[in-house]
Chains A and B, each alone.
Chain A
Amino acid sequence: MTAARLRHGFGRLAWYLREVSGESAYDRYCEHRERHHPGEEAMTRAEFWRWRMDERDRNPGARCC
């Protein structure tokens, strides 16, 4: 019971960290491609991350004081 709960809690934490850090972005991208552009060729993981970082070069986000 407690072990299962602990595992559940740990899973939630891992999910949160992956989401909040953006690590899950590639999975989300694949999902998005599958839903809206099925059959078309998608970027590989390495390509995706390269593109995503370069996207930030073009669109900087402000950080507050």
Chain B
Amino acid sequence: MRRFSVRSILVWTAVSILGAVAWGIIALARGEHISAAWLIVAALCSYAIAYRFYSRFIARRVLGVDNNRATPAERLENGIDYNVTDRRVLFGHHFAAIAGAGPLVGPVLAAQMGYLPGTLWIVFGVIFAGAVQDMVTLFFSVRRNGKSLGQMARDEIGAVGGAVALIAVFSIMILILAVLALVVVQALATSPWGTFSIAMTIPIALFMGFWMRLIRPGAILEATGIGVVLLLAAVIGGKYVADSGLAGAFTLSPESLTIALIVYGFVASVLPVWMLLAPRDYLSAFMKIGTIALLAVGIIIASPTMHNERVTDFASTGAGPVFAGPLFPFVFIIIACGALSGFHSLIASGTTPKMIEKEGQVRFIGYGGMLTESFVAVMAIIAASIIAPGLYYSMNVPAGVLGDTAQSAATAVKDFGFTITPGALNSAAADVGEKTLIARTGGAPTLAVGMSEIFSGAFGGFKAFWYHFAIMFEALFILTTVDAGTRVCRFMLQDTLGNLWKPMGRTSWWPGLAGASAVVVAAWGYFLYNGVTNPLGGINQLFPLFGIANQLLAAVALAVGTTILIKSGRAKWAWVTGIPLAWDATVTLTASSYKVFSSNPKLGFFAQRNAFQDAIDANKVLPPAKSMDDMHTIVTNSTVDGILAAFFAVMIIIVILMSVRIWLIALRRRGPLPTSETPPEPSMLWAPAGLFPTPEERAQMGRAQREPMPVGFGRGR
């Protein structure tokens, strides 16, 4: 083992001290508002230490990455899906695939508990759970020719485990699509500016699609460049449309937007990919990465002050209006993406393992990619915490509680212990070019207000432009996710049904295709409509379920990882994924039991159902319902949501029991059990493992160029 150099000791001591000071200021500074820069410093120092030491320990000791072993990309290269890809390029691909709206929305909602609990969970959750899950899943998939999580679960845990994984993936996809679409509806409702600029993304994408198909095949950068310019023009043009006679045509109620989204989702998923999805994907990936980078620069330049409280009273009382329930377990459910996101295991066992050049790169791409997403989540919690708490609650409390006017909203917010004057609320809306900001739940508008603050502070320009730029950026990639997600669900459905009836499995048979698409769109459309019309607030009701579903998938991934470690005789390292798994299971099961068994109607779905059903029986209308129809809507929704929460909990218990059974067999055996790992083959390629080649790697690169292949490189196991 190489000794640490003096320089390395000095550097890492400095990073540790700086990080500790930053955390100390965040946690302890009394009396005054701190600068957001401290959160950035604390997060970055923690990531650096975790990456340097913990991820290296996992890669070398626990996983035993072997750079002399050929990856699937090298062995199976076919020019289609198996492709040796430069690590920096693959990092870009992987990050674009894992980072979506989740890390932006969850932290905004969790800001209800204050910024400290959310930030701590985002940073330490990613270090010990989220990034570990991504890296371990990626590595085990690389060792299995890029198998998917579902296949690995079936191979390692058994048929039941595989079936649970499949059901978990399908149900989480449906919930994600519904919740994300709901975020878009909340952001665009009665906003002609926002609706116009998002509507324009459709013709822009179509134009790009035809350009790349017919006029200049493969000219991706050129088409994307034109698309981005047109997109910015659409954001600017939105203002003029909102001020013109066309405003009425683009002012849509939440219900009409819901129908528009459902129709769009169906059409987009049956159109060929090249027409709409592919160009949208280029556009949204570019906007996403560009805006995230811009936000990081903006926060550093503007260095805004945190106005949110460190820890609010809602953390202990559990009576928060944005989402119900106490800090434990709900912060850990609401913030899934950014800290621990089960969904990533699908990406880490999808395209990425088929493209990775060296086993050692799982650290940079898997662990590093997830650290980057966590950083996005930290920026989101900052953006939500620099705006005045009175405004935050006026935007995030369900409409049923706030009422329709600035006056009623200000009064309601006062009841929660925060102040904002009706005048301040109106002028905040006018500043960003909206008619109202009251009850714009879903996180996206709040984030956009925070971002407009940061961007106008750092780069100048009108807040209204930056607000709609932010809305457009979020809605754009959410709609891409909806598009792609509907398609993935349709394939899963067709695949499963194809086992029962052959023609259904043929993906080119259009009645099957359209039918499966319709079923998928109807499924998420149902939850979307349910969320939009729910008097209790769709985000308030559905977001915890989305978090629970995501954490269920994380449980599957971590259980697969732990099982493989134990089966391959590495039980002494099983805690690396075992502890996150135990934590994830505890959090998720506690949250589901609150949602199922709590007798508090604000928290427990069945308590809610009973309260409203009793009122219906007594012929009474309970607020926030305004009519008997509302009452019936609530009863139906709460029943469905409650059944889902119970269902997810049962799924988690099954996965864990199935895994424990295998663990016990393996531990009694006193020798490794066979796993589905592919046998080693020597690698003929050379590449650095991290972002920058180390001095040893540079020396080897020189040797590799002089000597014939194969080249031994790096440490073995």
Contacts and interface: CB of A to CB of B under 8 A. Distances in A.
Report which residue of B83, B218, B485 has the largest number of chain A beta carbons within 10 angstroms of its beta carbon.
Answer: B218
B88 A62 contact: no
Interface in A26-65: 26, 28-29, 32-33, 45-46, 48-50, 53-65
A18 interface: yes
A58 B77 CA distance: 19
B347 interface: yes
B274 A60 contact: no
Nearest to B346: A62
Interface stretch (B336-344, B634-642, B671-679): B336-344
Given A49-B212, A50-B213, A50-B217, A64 B341 contact: yes
A47 B507 CA distance: 21
A54 B278 CA distance: 10
Contacts of A20: 89, 92-93
A45 B491 CA distance: 29
B487 A60 contact: yes
B481 interface: yes
B213 to A, nearest CB: 7
Interface string B503-543: 00001000000000000000000000000000000000000
A57 B272 contact: yes
B220 A21 contact: yes
B102 interface: yes
Contacts of A23: 218-221
Given A49-B217, A64-B102, A21 B176 contact: no
Interface string B55-86: 00000000000000000000001011101011
B563 interface: no
B712 interface: no
B213 A53 contact: yes
Contact of B100 (A18, A25, A64): A64
Interface in B391-411: none
Contact of A22 (B220, B277, B341, B546): B220
9 closest pairs, A vs B, by CB? A53-B274, A65-B102, A49-B217, A60-B487, A32-B79, A20-B92, A19-B89, A23-B220, A63-B484
A64 B85 CA distance: 21
Contacts of B281: 63
A56 B278 contact: yes
A65 B173 CA distance: 9
Interface of A: 16-23, 25-26, 28-29, 32-33, 45-46, 48-50, 53-65
A49 B485 contact: no
B99 interface: yes
A16 B79 contact: no
A48 B219 CA distance: 12
Report which residue of B274, B282, B286, B477 has the largest number of chain A beta carbons within 10 angstroms of its beta carbon.
Answer: B274
Contacts of B484: 60-63
A62 B485 contact: yes
A51 B351 CA distance: 18
Given A54-B272, A57-B273, A48 B218 contact: yes
Contacts of B81: 59
A45 B218 contact: yes
Contacts of B89: 16, 19-20
A33 B79 CA distance: 8
A36 B698 CA distance: 29
A9 to B, nearest CB: 14
Given A22-B220, A62-B346, A65-B337, 9 more contacts: A20-B93, A48-B217, A48-B218, A53-B272, A58-B507, A62-B97, A63-B484, A64-B347, A65-B176
Nearest to B101: A65
A61 B355 CA distance: 14
B319 interface: no
Contact of A49 (B86, B176, B218): B218
Given A63-B97, A65-B550, A29 B79 contact: yes
A64 B343 contact: yes
Contacts of B101: 65
Grouping DSSP codes into helix (H, G, I), strand (E, B) and loop, the B interface class, with mixed when no group exceeds half, is: helix
B187 interface: no
Contacts of A18: 221
Nearest to B214: A46
B329 interface: no
10 contacts: A16-B88, A19-B89, A21-B224, A45-B217, A53-B213, A62-B350, A64-B97, A64-B481, A65-B481, A65-B550
B252 interface: no
Report which residue of A22, A25, A45, A53 has the largest number of chain B beta carbons within 10 angstroms of its beta carbon.
Answer: A53
B180 A65 contact: yes
A4 B529 CA distance: 58
Contacts of B180: 65
B488 interface: yes
A26 B218 contact: yes
Nearest to B80: A55
B132 interface: no
Contacts of A49: 212-213, 217-218
Contacts of B99: 64
B274 to A, nearest CB: 4
Contacts of B655: none
B188 interface: no
B190 interface: no
A1 to B, nearest CB: 23
B475 interface: no
A64 B344 contact: yes
Nearest to A12: B88
Nearest to B491: A60
A61 B354 CA distance: 13
B282 to A, nearest CB: 7
B46 interface: no
B83 A64 contact: no
Report which residue of A18, A19, A45, A48 has the largest number of chain B beta carbons within 10 angstroms of its beta carbon.
Answer: A19
B213 A28 contact: no
A57 B480 CA distance: 15
B88 A61 contact: no
Contacts of A26: 218
B98 interface: yes
Report which residue of A19, A20, A57 has the largest number of chain B beta carbons within 10 angstroms of its beta carbon.
Answer: A20
Contacts of B92: 16, 20
A55 to B, nearest CB: 7
Report which residue of A18, A19, A60, A61 has the largest number of chain B beta carbons within 10 angstroms of its beta carbon.
Answer: A60
Contacts of B98: 64
A54 B80 CA distance: 12
Contacts of B550: 65
B270 to A, nearest CB: 10
Nearest to B272: A57
A61 B97 contact: yes
Contacts of A46: 217
B493 to A, nearest CB: 12
Contacts of A54: 272-274
A53 B220 contact: no
Interface string B278-294: 10011000100000000
Nearest to B337: A65
